[in-house]
Structure 1
Amino acid sequence: MGYARLEQQIRKDTQADQPLGRHILWKEARVNKEGVVDNENVKKVVQLCEIIEQSSETQEGNKDTCRDILGKVFNVPEYFGRVRGKGFGVTPKSFFPQEKRQKPSNEEVLEKLRILSEQVALL
């Protein structure tokens, strides 16, 4: 089962409408049919994820800050074109959207220039 279907299944089972964290999908993709993690390295990563998630929730009280726990645990940056734990075709740009900056209009730039010119003239 791919990550997209796994996420749909988890959301259906839990009836959650918020996006799941990467660490949750990463863990669920490595669970066997009995619902147990067999690999010791995976168990360590899962434990670290849970510790970081609990400390993030208690400190800031916002689950949005827990979104990139997997990146914190692996302690490596996401390189262009790769996002761990979200399946095929997900890029950092699509998963970690940046706010679009609105360019100032010509009038705003001219007004700012006029104000700065006045300030320079006063000196």
Structure 2
Amino acid sequence: MVQHSGLTQERWSSFSLLQQILMIGNEMNRAKRLFSPLDKTGLIFCYERVIYLTDLTVKSNPMRGLRKELLRWRDLVAEEYINLMSAEAIMPDINRHLKIFKSLLLLNSESAGQISYLIKY
């Protein structure tokens, strides 16, 4: 996870919640492009970055309800990540990925406005 390895909690906390969600969304959008043709390694790296950025977001936001929802959302991504890493790896499902992506964007009213631009079923 070279791309965000130097990103500190302090630096991440300087971004607004909207910016944090959109940056996580950027990684989810990048991952979306790795489904066809399937780039399993690239997808794994994207999910690692998504989990890392989500962890930073959870740590930097004091709102308990938001943290709870972010952790639930993180579990969905972690499940996809674990499925990709397992020996009996199930083919990743782009529709499930898009639903998870959409649920991230719905965590903030401003980021929800991006759904029609980013997610096409």
Fold shared per TM-score above 0.5: no
The alignment's TM-score, normalised by the length of structure 1, stands at 0.32
The alignment's TM-score, normalised by the length of structure 2, stands at 0.32
**Higher Rg of the two aligned structures:** 1
Higher helix share: 2
